């Protein structure tokens, strides 16, 4: 993890620097069974390890961020989690920022334990940032936010997701605001005054349709639903043009389909990266 003197560099600043060097692209590491099969790999720990290590090798020096999806590792049990740990360590050693997609959300000591597992410098699974769910109340995220702050990490909070069930909660109104709008407001407050941006981001889908919420939170915006899931560069420009410096589009299948050849994966990532420039 980058440090300046004895002060740990915040995630928001490290992300801005990485995006400045490699462009705004986050590549998922999503070893689901069908993709393992497409790569000619077995749906077991051996195939999982080959898949993950290949993606890390291909993306190192090409993109700013990789995003392992924890569930696809966890489905292989303790051995799969061990592969995830090695993948995280290898990616960080290769200079990639690692955003672990875990969507954790709990209260009190349990939330603190999750935060320690992923964001504390003493953890063998330490990553640069995690995804979390705020729907036990934004205050329930405090253990994640405070642990991230102490360790130079980042937190991405689900706000406006692309799944069709999301609006039931996210578009519900709390007084004169939607629930999503209130979450974005909390993030805006937490990021206030940070330069070049804060370390607390929001997850906003590329396929949400018309964007009616203010997503200017002075923090990063993780944009899933881009690429194979239907979101286009034109959609991103239309929805997020006013906050483009904070946008981090995420693509998984659209790039991973070019595997298992390392050169093919790199070329696919470069093509998307160039489209986003």
pLDDT bucket at 228, cuts 50 / 70 / 90: low
pLDDT of residue 231 exceeding 80: no
Q: Quote the pLDDT of residue 171.
A: 86
| Catalytic residue, candidates 32, 86, 92, 103 | 103
**Mean pLDDT in the chain?**
93
Q: How many residues does the chain have?
A: 277
Band of the pLDDT at 2, cuts 50, 70, 90? very low
Report d(CA 261, CA 38) in Å as an integer.
12
Contacts of 137 (CB under 8 A, 6+ apart): none
Q: Say which range, 73-87, 159-173, 256-270, has the weakest mean pLDDT.
A: 159-173
Residue 155 near residue 141 (C-beta atoms within 8 A): yes
Q: Is 103 an active-site residue?
A: yes
Q: What is the pLDDT of residues 180-212, one digit of tens each?
A: 999 999 999 999 999 999 999 999 998 777 788
pLDDT one-digit tens code per residue, 66-76: 999 999 999 99
Has residue 90 got a pLDDT over 90? yes
Give the model confidence (pLDDT) of 235-253 as tens digits: 899 899 999 999 999 999 9
CA dist., res. 78 & res. 74, Å (int): 7
Confidence check: pLDDT of 123 > 90 = yes
User: 197 and 190 in contact (C-beta within 8 Å)?
Assistant: no
Asked whether the predicted pLDDT for residue 142 surpasses 70, the reply is yes
pTM: 0.95
Distance CA 167, CA 14 (A): 32
pLDDT at 229: 66
Count CA atoms closer than 13 A to 220's CA, side-chain side.
Answer: 32
Of 208, 256, 197, the C-alpha closest to 66 is 256
**Domains of the chain from N-terminus onward:** 3-276 (3.20.20.70)
Cα 165 versus chain centre, distance: 21
């Amino acid at each position: 993890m980058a440090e300046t003197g004895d002060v740990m560099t915040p995630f928001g600043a490290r992300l801005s620097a990485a995006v400045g060097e490699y462009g705004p692209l986050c590549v998922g590491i999503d070893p689901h069974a069908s993709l393992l099969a497409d790569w000619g790999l077995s749906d077991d720990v051996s195939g999982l390890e080959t898949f993950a290590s290949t993606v890390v090798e291909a993306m190192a020096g090409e993109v700013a961020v990789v995003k392992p999806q924890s569930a696809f590792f966890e489905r292989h049990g303790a051995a799969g989690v061990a592969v995830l740990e090695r993948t995280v360590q290898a990616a960080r050693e290769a200079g990639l920022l690692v955003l672990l997609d875990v969507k954790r959300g709990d209260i009190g000591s349990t939330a603190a334990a999750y935060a320690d597992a992923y964001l504390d410098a003493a953890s063998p699974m330490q990553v640069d940032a995690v995804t979390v769910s705020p729907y036990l109340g934004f205050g329930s995220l405090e253990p994640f936010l405070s642990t991230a702050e102490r360790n130079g990490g980042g937190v991405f909070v689900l706000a406006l997701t692309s799944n069709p069930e999301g609006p039931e909660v996210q578009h519900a109104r709390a007084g004169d605001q939607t629930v999503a709008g209130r979450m974005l407001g909390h993030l805006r407050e937490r990021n206030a005054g940070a330069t070049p941006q804060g370390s607390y981001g929001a997850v906003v889908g590329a396929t949400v349709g018309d964007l009616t919420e203010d997503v200017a939170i002075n923090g990063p915006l993780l944009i899933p639903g881009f690429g194979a899931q239907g979101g286009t560069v034109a959609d991103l420009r239309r929805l997020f043009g006013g906050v483009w410096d904070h946008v981090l589009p995420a693509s998984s299948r659209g790039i991973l389909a070019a595997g298992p050849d390392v050169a093919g994966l790199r070329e696919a990532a470069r093509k998307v990266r160039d489209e986003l420039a």
